[in-house]
Amino acid sequence: MNTVRDEARKLIDQLPDEATWDDVMYELYIKKKLAVALKAVEDGRVVAHDAVRKKLLAECSISADTIRDS
């Protein structure tokens, strides 16, 4: 199992030589966000898009027909 340090090193090694500190921080931020999201999926802490849409439409008293699907 890779440690956080190992994962960070791999991520940094994949960046171009001219990467800035902002580039490093952005990549670390995205990696962390994705890890949290994937854990939420594993734990079943997600809601389907259609369920959220129906709930919001019901709360706003807007008919689904008045909103164009995208």
**pLDDT tens digits, one per residue of 8-29:** 999 999 999 999 999 999 999 9
Contact in structure between 63 and 69 (CB atoms under 8 Å) = no
**22-68, pLDDT tens digit by residue?**
999 999 999 999 999 999 999 999 999 999 998 888 888 665 556 65
Q: How far apart are CA 53 and CA 64, in angstroms?
A: 9
Alpha-carbon radius of gyration of the chain: 19
